[in-house]
């Protein structure tokens, strides 16, 4: 799972049937210090996150499993909102 | 999902059976500011997009889910046309 | 499979149903000399590893197979604890 | 889908059962201008392509779908021969 | 498929049930000239390869298909031993 912050929205009227009613967020991937990492992408929202929130998401073939209807064509799905993140890099 | 713009076509007569009748577009991947990002690739069209249109697409193992016939061997499928894209990078 | 060391935790209350009860670790990927490689990511724990331990994990679509309940949306799952690692690079 | 040109062969006697009778090509990936892009890889042939031909192929988890027997362990499968490729980069 | 050479072993007692009895090799990925490419990774052995041998392997979601028991969580599986490799780069 990776971290991200919701920074925008995408609207699309013409799309494959299975994506009707699905919300698309523009999301900035973040590293484990909550700093931007890489470029923003478009992600499907599986939990009802709002703009500005810090979330975690899955990429690749797993993404579709985040929503019960498994025929969703998605390669980036937001599956949770981050409450807290503790990292002790001194362990390395 | 990632963004892209259709910039060309590919024709192929000899191909695996399941790809008969499928249209192939040459597509330039775009970033969230609609700027080219990376090199063009060949994508399957699941919605009937036209040359010059801005689309969104899925890569990887999910791509085949974009079209009801799931036995299509595709790793890049166009699944929608972008109407509008709003990004507030000041949220970071 | 890749190597990693557990260096922290992530808490998330709002998340998709299937992730209820699952533990999330912040994990630093390691190379075959146990040196950090790339940035830390969030991984699901399938074996009960503790902070500071050296583990091995799977990425991509396979990750969900590491835990019997296959509907887990995960793209990084810890599946074992490393006892020992021997490498003879002189073989190259 | 990506483009490639067949530049060699690989022979392997000892291999998993499901790969018996399958041909392996060494293939140079190409960009949309038919120029080499990245390093050659080994690909399975699902259509009977010959050395020197320009082909298109799928990577990742989809590759096995290119051949009816779905239990083939392949992450690069040649699925068609390219007839023609037209690109209008002035569309960007 | 990619090429590699076995250069070591990994031992792990605590691991998910489905990996009991599976051998783990440390493997150096090779390019089509048999030269090291990238860093060594840990791979599952599906054919009984020995240290020092040149092998080919699959990555990603396909890897688990290399062994009949499909619930193996693996993202790198050795599926054959290379006898010979011929490349005519003059074809480009």
Query: Quick one: pLDDT at residue C51?
Result: 93
User: What confidence category does residue E70 fall into, taking pLDDT thresholds of 50, 70 and 90?
Assistant: low
* D34 within a domain of the structure (yes/no): yes
Q: Which residues, numbered 13 to 72 in chain B, qualify as contacts with chain D under a Cβ-Cβ cut-off of 8 Å?
A: 13-16, 18-19, 24, 26, 28, 36, 39-44, 51-52, 60-61, 63-64, 71-72
Q: Minimum mean pLDDT among B43-52, B70-79, E43-52: which range?
A: B70-79
Q: How many CB atoms lie within 10 A of CB B18?
A: 18
Say yes or no to pLDDT of C72 above 80. no
Angle at C81 between CA C80 and CA C82, to 5 degrees: 115
Structure confidence at residue D2 (pLDDT): 92
pLDDT at B66 over 70: no
**B77 contact residues in A (CB cutoff 8 A):** 73
- Chain B nearest-CA distance from D76, in A, is 11
Per-residue pLDDT for C82 more than 80?
A: yes
Residue D60 belongs to some domain of the structure = no
Q: Pick B12's closest partner by Cβ from D62, D66, D83.
A: D83
Nearest to E44 by CA among A40, B15, C80: C80
Tell me the C-alpha to C-alpha distance, in Å, between residue C2 and each of A29, A77, C76. 22, 23, 10
Looking at per-residue pLDDT, the higher value among D46 and A53 belongs to A53
pLDDT at residue number A51: 93
Q: For A19, phi and psi rounded to 5 degrees?
A: -95, 0
A19-60, pLDDT tens digit by residue?
888 899 999 999 999 999 999 999 999 889 999 999 999 887
Q: Is the pLDDT of residue E4 over 70?
A: yes
pLDDT at D88: 77
By C-alpha distance, the chain E residue nearest D78 is: E1
Q: Each residue of A60-86: pLDDT tens digit?
A: 766 666 566 656 778 888 999 999 999
Q: How many Cα atoms are found within 13 Å in the side-chain-facing hemisphere of E65?
A: 21
Give how many domains chain B has, as a whole number: 1
Q: What integer pLDDT is reported at residue B89 of this predicted model? A: 66
Among C8, C15, C61, beta carbon nearest to A62: C61
Tokens coding C49: 């590893």
Q: Which chains touch C (3 or more CB pairs under 8 A)?
A: A, E
- Of residues B31, C10, C42, the one with CA closest to residue A7: B31
Identify whether B59 is part of a domain.
yes
Q: B47 forms bridges with which residues in the sheet?
A: none
Instruction: Identify whether D35 is part of a domain.
Output: yes
Both tokens assigned to C14: 């709002």
The domain that holds E64 is classified in CATH as: 2.40.50.220
The SS3 of residue A34 is coil
How far is residue A46's CA from residue C3's CA, in Å, rounded to a whole number? 30
Q: What is the pLDDT of residue A66?
A: 58
Of B39, B60, B63, the CB nearest to D32: B39
Which domain covers residue B27, as residue numbers?
2-86
Which helix (H) or strand (E) covers residue D3, if one does? strand D2-11
Helix (H) or strand (E) holding B10: strand B2-11
Looking at B10-14, C35-39, E84-88, which range is the least confident one? Answer: E84-88
Segment E58-78 mean pLDDT = 71
Q: Give this complex's ipTM.
A: 0.80
Q: Is C58 within the bounds of a domain? A: yes
What distance in Å separates residue B40's CA from the closest CA in chain D?
6
Nearest CA in chain A to C38: A31
User: Please, which residues have CB within 8 angstroms of residue B36's CB and are 6 or more apart in sequence?
Assistant: B28, B29, B30, D92
State pTM to two decimals. Answer: 0.83
């Amino acid at each position: 799972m990776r971290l991200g912050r919701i920074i925008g929205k995408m609207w699309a009227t013409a799309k494959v049937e299975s994506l009707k009613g699905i919300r698309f967020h523009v999301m900035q991937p973040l590293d484990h210090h909550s700093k931007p990492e890489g470029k923003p992408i478009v992600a499907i929202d599986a939990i009802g996150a709002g703009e500005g929130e810090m979330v975690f998401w899955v990429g690749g073939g797993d993404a579709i499993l985040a929503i019960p209807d498994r025929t969703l064509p998605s390669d980036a799905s937001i599956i949770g909102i981050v409450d807290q993140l503790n990292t002790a890099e001194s362990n390395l």
